[in-house]
Each structure stands twice: as structure tokens, then as C-alpha cells.
């Protein structure tokens, strides 16, 4: 199994600690006045979503986690399970609603997502960074309120609710940044 030396530590590194996969969410290099250099790391458990703080001395190493990332297409939701299909070999994977978390807001049939597999089992998925979705419900704009940049809540076709400018109407398409749930632009479809 491959391993990473402290000189290779960086944000986004996927490592294995005590048999569990972790992703490095923060790594700071600290050189005290005397003594060995230290690497203060924050690691998030990819199975339980817990955060771990660890300090490593220069020269330490961590085992690489057996994690692969694939493109998977969202097929349908069945109860609490979300069903995805690998675009290369047509194998189907199921994720629970806990594993999908808030990403359900951006899933519509046919959406191609990035799925993380640990030992060939799915653990998490990430929707595309931008999605074009139809506005399912929007309050009508009040006349005369166009001079300032007023916003209003709308409901999208996936069930997600976001804030958009007052001129957006029901039935229109909007582009949404899925990382922060913010309206980006109106799209003509």
C-alpha cells in the first residue's frame, strides 16, 4: 500500500488512519524555535463525518486510502435510497440519504455526479458545481420594486429553495452554484 510522507501533506489528501478513510481538510507547517518541524492537520472521517486534529513530526508518514472517484449518473430515489449508475461499466450504486446529505437539492434524473468509492463501496457524492434548474414556484414581482436589487425566495424543480432577484418568474430557468446554494444567472432554455 502506498503512503504519504509529511512533505507530501496537503489539503484534499486522502489517507487511512486506524482502518478508516480520512480527507485532509487543513494542514499547517509549524517550525518551532528549536526542535523538529511539525505538521498540524485537521482530518475528516469520510465514513462518519467526524473531524480529527492530529500533529505529525517531519519524517512521519500516513497510509494512502484506497479511494477512487468515478462519474455516476443519478437515476432515481427509492424511499431513503438514492440510486446512481457508473457511466463506464453501468454498475449501480446506492447511497443513503445520510450519505447524500444536502446534495439532494441538486439531483434531478440524469445528473452526472462525482462519486467517491472506498474499497469499491460508495461513501459520498458531489453534484456538479453549477446546475440549471427550472423555477417551480415564485411569488409574483411587485411593480415598482425594480430599482433596487431585491430578492425573493423561489422553489426549484428539485425541491430546493433559494433566493433570486425579484424579476425571476415561475417557469424560468436559473443557474445555481451548488457549493453555496446561490443564484448565478437566468438561463434561456
DSSP 65-117: P-EEEEEEEEEEEETTEEEEEETTT--EEEEEHHHHGGGGGG--TT-EEEEEE
Considering the chain, tell me which residue range(s) the CATH 2.40.50.140 domain(s) occupy: 67-126, 130-187
* pLDDT tens figures, 170-185: 899 999 999 898 999 9
% the chain with pLDDT above 70: 95
Res. 70 pLDDT band, cuts 50 70 90: very high
> What is the rounded CA–CA span in Å between residue 24 and residue 124?
16
Task: Indicate if the pLDDT at residue 157 is higher than 60.
Answer: yes
Average pLDDT, the chain: 89
Q: According to the CATH classification, is domain 3-64 in 3.40.640.10?
A: no
pTM score: 0.75
pLDDT of residue 112: 94
C-alpha cell at 106: 441538486
Q: Which is nearest to 15 in space by CA: 26, 6, 27, 3? A: 3
Tell me if 139 sits within 8 A of 169, measured CB to CB. no
* CATH topology assigned to domain 67-126: OB fold (Dihydrolipoamide Acetyltransferase, E2P) (2.40.50)
Q: Given this model, what pLDDT does residue 47 score?
A: 85
Q: Where in the chain is the domain with CATH 2.30.30.30?
A: 3-64
Scan for cell 432577484, then name that residue: 165
pLDDT at residue 145 above 60? no
Name which of 5-19, 25-39, 138-152 the model is least confident about: 138-152
Q: If you classify domain 130-187 with CATH, what class do you get?
A: mainly beta
Q: What is the pLDDT of residue 187?
A: 87
Amino acid at each position: 500500500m502506498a503512503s504519504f510522507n509529511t512533505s507530501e501533506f496537503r489539503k484534499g489528501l486522502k489517507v487511512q488512519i486506524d482502518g478508516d478513510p480520512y480527507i485532509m481538510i487543513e494542514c499547517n507547517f509549524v517550525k518551532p524555535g528549536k526542535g523538529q518541524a511539525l505538521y498540524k492537520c485537521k482530518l475528516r472521517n469520510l465514513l462518519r463525518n467526524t473531524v480529527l486534529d492530529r500533529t505529525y513530526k517531519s519524517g512521519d508518514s500516513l497510509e494512502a486510502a484506497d479511494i477512487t472517484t468515478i462519474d455516476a449518473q443519478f437515476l432515481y430515489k427509492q424511499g431513503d435510497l438514492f440510486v446512481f449508475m457508473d457511466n463506464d461499466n453501468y454498475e449501480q450504486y446506492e447511497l443513503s440519504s445520510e450519505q447524500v446529505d444536502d446534495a439532494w437539492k441538486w439531483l434531478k434524473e440524469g445528473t452526472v455526479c462525482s462519486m467517491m468509492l472506498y474499497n469499491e463501496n460508495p461513501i459520498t457524492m458531489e453534484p456538479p458545481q453549477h446546475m440549471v434548474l427550472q423555477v417551480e414556484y415564485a411569488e409574483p414581482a411587485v411593480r415598482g420594486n425594480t430599482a433596487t436589487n431585491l430578492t425573493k425566495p423561489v422553489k426549484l424543480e428539485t425541491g430546493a429553495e433559494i433566493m433570486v432577484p425579484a424579476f425571476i418568474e415561475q417557469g424560468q430557468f436559473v443557474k445555481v452554484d451548488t457549493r453555496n446554494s446561490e443564484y448565478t444567472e437566468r438561463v434561456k432554455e
